[in-house]
Amino acid sequence: MNAYHVLTAVLIIGGILYAVISCNAPYFQLRNHGVSHEEAKKAAVEHDEELFPTGNIVESLKISAGIPQTWLLVLTYFTTFGGFMALTAWFPTYWTRAQGLEPITAGALTAIFSILAALMRVPGGKFADKVGGQKVCIGALVVAISCALMNLNLPWFGTFLITIVIAVAFGFNNAAVMKLVPVYVAKSVGGASGWVGGLGAFGGFVFPIILAAVVTAYGNAGYGLGFLVFTLFAIANIVLNWLGMMRKAN
């Protein structure tokens, strides 16, 4: 219960800080002061704003749903952000049952993975700005294939190093995907972000079920075999992203 109390307190404090510190983009500030759509858009452009709303929420979702690249980004985010969420929930079980570690050690290793994957979005985003979101996305997915190495019978520390590589790959790709949303779905960034973020996060619920099913089918060996699921998804994403986004960009 104490953990939930701490989480609640953090959410409340974060919400208050966000309400006090944050502000809307120039376009929305002007609209709130009664400025017309066209005048607000023109003034916002002068303040370097590039993205603007397209109709209501339903219309935005419809427009973005009709663009194939939206679904490629959904699948990619499903793999790495959903994978990040799934492994954060799965690793305590993996470390204790597959590697025989104490719960406190398992929790610490899981925390390192989770925090690192989240922090990697920062350099991942900067790198995507520098070399392009497509290259970072493909490169991160190639690195994510290393999930297959979890099937090796390594000592726990060797396995932990592999999870570090996975965390970096997932974090970089998550940043790159969000960088690509306005590139490929410029007509409806808000709607596309909703599809990508919402359905992508759904992977966090799907992958643990798959991992548990593999363990049920193969016993203790299934803890390593289950990670091949992420390898297969990474390979599929590389192929689909190359055909649907990289070639289109070229």
Summarize pLDDT for 202-217 with one digit per residue, the tens.
Answer: 999 999 999 999 999 9
Contact 91, 109 (CB under 8 A): yes
Kindly list the domain boundaries of the chain, sorted by start residue.
Answer: 3-46, 57-246
State the amino acid at position 159 in one-letter form.
Answer: T
Looking at every residue in the chain, the average pLDDT score rounds to 90
3-state helix/strand/coil string of 91-130: HHHHHHHHCCCCHHHHHHHHHHHHHHHHHCHHHHHHHHHH
For 57-246, CATH gives 1.20.1250.20
pLDDT at 243 over 60: yes
* The pLDDT of residue 246: 60
The closest of 120, 228, 117, 208 to 167, measured between CA atoms, is 117
CB 139 within 8 A of CB 246: no
Q: Each residue of 159-184: pLDDT tens digit?
A: 999 999 999 999 999 999 999 998 88
What is the model's pTM?
0.84
> Which residue has tokens 């969000």?
178
Output the pLDDT for position 38. 82
Indicate if the pLDDT at residue 249 is higher than 70.
Answer: no
Which secondary structure element, helix H or strand E, spans residue 60, and what is its range? helix 57-65
Q: How many CA atoms lie within 13 A of 15 on its CB side?
A: 6
- What's residue 55's pLDDT? 65
Least Cα distance to 171 among 202, 198, 203, 136 occurs for 136
Q: What is the mean pLDDT of residues 224-249?
A: 86
Q: How far apart are CA 85 and CA 106, in angstroms?
A: 16
Residue 87: its pLDDT value, please? 97
